Each structure stands twice: as C-alpha cells, then as structure tokens.
Amino acid sequence: MSRHRNIRNINIEDEMDDDYDDYDDYEDEEESEKPYNRNSLSANYYTYLTDSGRNSPTPTAPPPAANVPSSSYYPPVSTASPTVAPAFSASIVRNMTAPLLQQHQKPPKNPNNRPSTPQGSSNVNTSKRTQQVKNLQAESATPNVSRPSSEVDLTAYRRNQLQNIAKAPSVPRKTPKPRVAEKDLINLIVVGHVDAGKSTLMGHLLHDLEVIDSRTIDKFKHEAARSGKASFAYAWVLDETEEERERGVTMDIGRTSFETSNRRIVLLDAPGHKDFISNMITGTSQADAAILVVNATTGEFETGFENGGQTKEHALLLRSLGVTQLVVAVNKLDTVDWSFERFEEIHNNLSVFLTRQAGFSKPKFVPVSGITGENLVKRMDLDWYDGPCLLELIDNFVAPQPPSDGPLRIGISDVHKVSANQVVVSGKIESGEVDKDDKVYIMPSVIPATIKDCASNNGSKHYFAGDYIMFTLQGTFEPESVQVGSVVVKSGPDTLIPSRKFQVRLVVFEIATPIIKGAKSELYAHSLCIPCTFTKLIHTINKSNGEVLKQKPRFIAKGMSAVVEVETDHDVAIEAFTSCRALGRVTFRSGGNTIAAGIVEKAITPQ
C-alpha cells in the first residue's frame, strides 16, 4: 500500500484486490531515493507559507516533452530559485500543517466528493496528477516569474494606514485647569570623562540635601569597604545595579529627583565610559541643563580632555543635542591642595574649547570636592574664590518653556514590561499634552493603542510637555513592535509620518577620514540609535551666513558645514527640526567617535 495516499480517498475494494503489489516499487523507490537537500526543502517550505507562494496565479503550462510520458514524469527539485515549490514539498507542508488546522476548523463539505467506482476515482486522480505535472513544468520552464511581494503589499498597506491617520480629524484639546507649580522643573544631566567623580559628587550632594539618609550612607560605606571600594560609597546612591558596583563605573542613566529653593530637579547621572555613549546620548536628549565634571588631579584632566578622553565629546554632544546651560564642576581639587593655579589652568583650557568650538555662550566654573563634600551646598572659604557653590548654580538654571500647544510627541526611552495586549514604557513628553484614555499611535510601527495609566514625579493627573512619565499602553502588540526610540503620537494632520530618508544640515567635527558618498555611520536622535548611510552630498555651506559654497562636493572634511541626504536601515520616527526640536536633532558617530551633528531639514517620503 502506498505510504503517501490520503486515507479519505481509499477505496476498500481496490485495496482488497491490491495484494500489496506495490511493495516492490516501494523498495525500488528507497534504493533510488535522492540525497536530502536542506536548502531546497527550506526554500520551498518558506515559499509555500508566504501568501505569494500559495496564492499567486499559476502560469500557463507548456506542452510536456514528447519522450517523457506524464505517468512516469518526476519533476526535478530546483535549488536555484527559492520561489518554485515542487509538488512533494507542498505535500510535505500540507501534511505538516493539516493537523494544526484541523484542530480549529472542520473540512469544508464538498457535494461532489462522493464515493465513486474504482475506475472513476483512478481517472480523477490521474487527471489531477497530470495537471500538477504540467503546472510544475511551466513553473520550472519560466524563470523569475514576477509575483506580488508580501513586502510590497505591507508597504502599501502601511502607506494607506498612515494616510488615513493623517486625514483623521485632530483630537480636540482638553482644557484642564492650569498646573499650579510653585517651582519650575529642570531636567539636569551630569556628564564627564570616566572616573571624574560624577556619581560620587551627586551622591554626596543628595546626602547633604537629606534626600538620602545617613543610615543608608553608612550601609553603603560598610558594603563598599568589604568589597575593597571604600571611596565608592556615595557613588552607590546612583549606581544601583550589582554590575555597576562591581565594575566601579556607571553603565546606564541613573535617575532621581530633589528640590532647591526655586527649582524641582530631575537628576540624570550619565555614564562616562565611551562604551556606553549611547546611554549618555539618550539622557542628554531629555536634559535642559548640564553639569560637566572634570578631574583636577594631576594628569587626569589631560587624559580626559586631550588624550582621546570623553570630556570634549560630551561637551560637543551636549551642545548638538540642544543643551545651552552649562556648569563646569572642577572636582577633586582637594588632591592638589585647592591650588588656584590648577583651577585657572583648567579654566583657561576648557573655556576656550567650550566657547569657540562647542558653542556655549557663558559656561560657569565652580571648584568642588565630591568625596569631602566641600563647596556643594555651602560656600567654601577660599582666598581665591568667593563665588556661588554648586547648589546655588543649580538653583539659577532657567526652566525652558516646552511647546505644550504643539502636536503630541513622547519619545520612548525605556520599555519595562511587554505582553500581548499591554506595554509599560517611560519617556519624556517633548511636545503636546496627554491624559488617561487618550487614543494614540506608536511610530514607526503604526500600532494603535490606548493610554490606560500614567505616573510622574509630580503626582499630576494631566501631563504636559517637559514631563517625564511612565505609562501603560493597551492594544495588540507584536514582539519588538515597541522599542526604545519609538514615538507616541496622535492622529490628525500634524501626526508624525515615519521615513527612512532625510535631508540634514550638519557640522563635521574633528575627524581623520572625510565623509564621502556611501559612508556608513550610526545616527542618534532622541533615544534612537540606528545605522545609516550618507547617500548624497548636496552642497557645502558657510557657517556664518548659510551661503552655498559648492554643489555636489566629493567629500566633507573636518570643520565644514554641509547639507546631505541620509538613509537609515528602516523607517524611523524622526521629523523636521521646525516641527519638533527634540526629534529633529541628530548626531552621527563612527568608529567610536562623534563625527558630525546637525538638524533635520525635511523628511523625504516615498511617492
């Protein structure tokens, strides 16, 4: 009895007269069996599972060869074209998938499927086999048959979906009671070269402000001493993970909050090691002001500033990501006996770079010691310095006025919990306002969702631009459809349309190799990081007045400004700088260095 027969088509009388006369054929089939071809089977299996493989029309079959009878024809297995599905491969797939399908649905009733005579059944099966052989001959004889691609269909579907979202009427804005805030909110980030003492400095500041009690600090001191890191006790206030404490370096953004006399501060402690520069960029994209910490120890400042350290790169990233208010904390001056000469040396070298190259207007310098806590919350009595302490400078930061009347844009910076119908994320509201039960979309995956729960540090029930919130999205989510770098928007004409091509105006930093057409890089925008390619060098421009200097340059060298076209690996949620500043600032890195930064002039959407 043949092993490939469908039991539903078996005729009992035929089987009784069969006497297993096909057993000899079965042995011959095993002896002449061809070796297993993994590539052919997997390719055909994939082709069958796709809609284009199952549902595409069958081309017209050419007449079979004269010397090959249809009853003895065995179609060859094609390994060159993965789009052709032989009959035995489709049979294998159907046999593999049939039990799963039969669990959920019954086979359709066919009125023509009635018991027939053995001769009639044989004729029907023979005609079906003949037609299948003809179809396979036609497919193998017609290479590269154009079929509708599932990717093209998906692109067209997403394009129509985005058009419908953009055509939808704007959601009317609610008119909540204006928030009564006694103190303005400042998102403050602390950056600097590795081992500059950033975490220790801010941990001691939080202890002096009684945000962290003495009992907790004593516990950290004992634990740090047992692990041989007694000087890291204050750093453990912000370095909370076990890996950070074992390695002695900050790896992710540490987040906490405190209050001064006039400000509410959300403190962001950024990693200083160059391996975690992406986390530093994510934190900087959320900041309104910054503290740049430098190490005054002999030789350490030069290492961080001149010998390929992160001090210069962090300062350039701060300015390119929109931070204009900067305080430079000259830390560890106790190691040089609070030397005025050392402070002036650092002040002179760094102020020239910050004003002339980085673009800061009036950076302020303050001498401090993170380990001893001097000049942090109380002024220190020094002969050569009578200025404000660090806390006073923080209290003098000016709070920005975020665009609450603009379209909703929430950049997702953390994904905390993911399930099939709920996602818990956090991020900063870059513009607009949001409330519970708002209908939103997640870009660039174009997933509709509803905001169910929101929470922030201020305890408000309505959230405006500038707030950093944690919220729950309810909907239907595919795996990895909501990621860091996604943006939450609302429908309407001012919604965000994802794209993968952008026209960017940029400034090139100090680089060894010029940027040419086709150069690869990494693009950073808000909390997004994605590979990209410079596809066009449109023209170079004059920094001072924006005048076009040269059309279609061959390369862009260090110190030059230019307008270029950039293409990312896939669609991303970025838009023009004029629409949303936070989503329109971009930075480019290559080979572990920041090579350029700029703003998006426009997104180039496919027609």
The span from the CA of 2 to the CA of 22, in Å, is 7
Torsional sign, CA 107, 112, 117, 118: negative
DSSP 193: S
The whole-number pLDDT of residue 58 equals 45
Does residue 62 surpass a pLDDT of 60? no
What is the pLDDT at residue 255?
83
pLDDT, one tens digit per residue, over 436-474 is 889 999 999 899 999 988 888 666 777 888 888 999 999
Mean pLDDT of 61-75: 46
- Please give the mean pLDDT across all residues of the chain: 76
Specify the amino acid at residue 158. Answer: R
Residues pairing with 541 in the sheet:
548, 561
pLDDT band at 79 (very low <50, low <70, confident <90, very high): very low
When pLDDT is cut at 50, 70 and 90, the band that residue 333 belongs to is: very high
| Residue 253 or 527, more confident | 527
**In this predicted structure, what is the pLDDT of residue 326?**
95
Strands 433-434 vs 463-464: parallel, antiparallel or unpaired:
antiparallel
Q: What angle do CA 529, 236, 183 make, to 5 degrees?
A: 75
Over range 35-59, report the average pLDDT: 42
Angle, vertex CA 489, rays to CA 486 and CA 491, nearest 5:
140
> CB of 78 within 8 A of CB of 140?
yes
How many Cβ atoms sit within 10 Å of the Cβ of residue 429? 24
Q: Give me the pLDDT at residue 479, please.
A: 78
CA–CA dist 285, 585 (Å, integer): 9
**pLDDT score, position 99:** 38
Residue 397 has pLDDT above 60, yes or no: yes
- pLDDT, tens digit, for every residue of 496-530? 999 999 999 999 988 889 999 999 999 999 889 99
Contacts of 64 by beta carbon, 8 Å cutoff, 6+ apart: 70, 73, 133, 134, 137
Helix axes 38-49, 87-102, angle to 10 degrees: 50
What pLDDT, on a 0 to 100 scale, did the predictor assign at position 291? 95
What Cα–Cα distance (Å) separates residue 477 from each residue in 85, 426, 450, 495, 572? 32, 17, 12, 20, 18
pLDDT band at 75 (very low <50, low <70, confident <90, very high): very low
- Segment 77-104 mean pLDDT: 40
In this structure, of 151-155, 507-511, 542-546, the range with the lowest mean pLDDT score is 151-155
Q: What is the pLDDT of residue 113?
A: 46
Q: Which of 554, 558, 482, 566 is nearest to 522 (CA)?
A: 566
Q: What is the pLDDT, as a whole number, of residue 72?
A: 43
Going by pLDDT thresholds of 50, 70 and 90, the confidence category of residue 358 is confident
Report the distance separating Cα 601 and Cα 453, nearest Å: 35
**Res 28: pLDDT:** 47
pLDDT at residue number 227: 79
**Cα distance between residue 128 and residue 122, in whole Å:** 10
> Is residue 396 pLDDT above 80, yes or no?
yes
According to DSSP, the residues that pair with 539 across neighbouring strands are 551, 563
| Residue whose entry in the numeric block shows the structure tokens 């081992």 | 195
Mean pLDDT score, 570-589: 91
Which domains are present in the chain?
34-141 (no CATH), 186-395 (3.40.50.300), 402-489 (2.40.30.10), 499-604 (2.40.30.10)
Look at residue 87 in the predicted model and tell me its pLDDT. 41
Rounded Cα–Cα distance for residues 192 and 232 (Å)? 17
| Stretch among 217-231, 256-270, 495-509 having the lowest mean pLDDT | 217-231
Share of the chain above pLDDT 70, in %: 71
Check residue 403 and give its pLDDT. Answer: 67
